[in-house]
Amino acid sequence: MTAPAPEPAAVPDGARPGPDGRLRCPWGTTARDYAEYHDTEWGRPVHGDDALYERLCLEGFQSGLSWLTILRKREAFRAAFAGFHIPAVAAFTEEDEQRLLADSGIVRNRAKISAALHNARVAAEWPPGELDALVWSYAPEAAGRPVPRVFADVPAITPESTALAKALKKRGFRFVGPTTVYALMQACGLVNDHLADCWCR
């Protein structure tokens, strides 16, 4: 997920204390679901083809929507998409696609659903570990990255996310623009965009 924009005038631009007094990135204090996701998942390294495929799908479904919407529908997405097990999703039929379009538990967007199924079919043709290796090969060196102090310091895209998006598209993936890919990089720990004063950093 791209770090959600703070609510105007409600959330300061820097880290702020949550109910427990710990300083967090501002978006991590706006809802209980956000706080748990911020504290336990966002920015922590994620490996595995299926796990990265899931995150890539969910980031694609989030495009144009609140990440909170996706977060609250995540278990329904997992149920609908066979746990995001790449070979299982790659075997989905037209009937499965129609089932997904009728599933009110997920985001029923035809283009996003079609892209998720298409991407599974592409990834299913790769050797095990190749998606993981490709994604992580674009992780920048942490030593050269400035530590964000305020929300405005966190980028929406980077040269690495642009390059990874291009590489995924070249390999046949769809719905993987540089903003979506950078959100994946943030969420899966390829970069650390927790603010300098955030306790998770």
Tell me which residues are annotated as active site: 37, 59, 67
Q: Smallest Cα–Cα separation from 193: which of 1, 20, 34, 6?
A: 1
The answer to whether the beta carbons of residues 180 and 165 sit under 8 Å apart is yes
The answer to whether the beta carbons of residues 187 and 46 sit under 8 Å apart is yes
Q: Is the dihedral of CA 106, 108, 111, 117 positive or negative?
A: positive
The answer to whether the beta carbons of residues 106 and 80 sit under 8 Å apart is yes
Residues 161 and 177: their CA atoms lie apart, in Å, by 8
Backbone angles phi, psi at 77, to 5 degrees: -60, -45
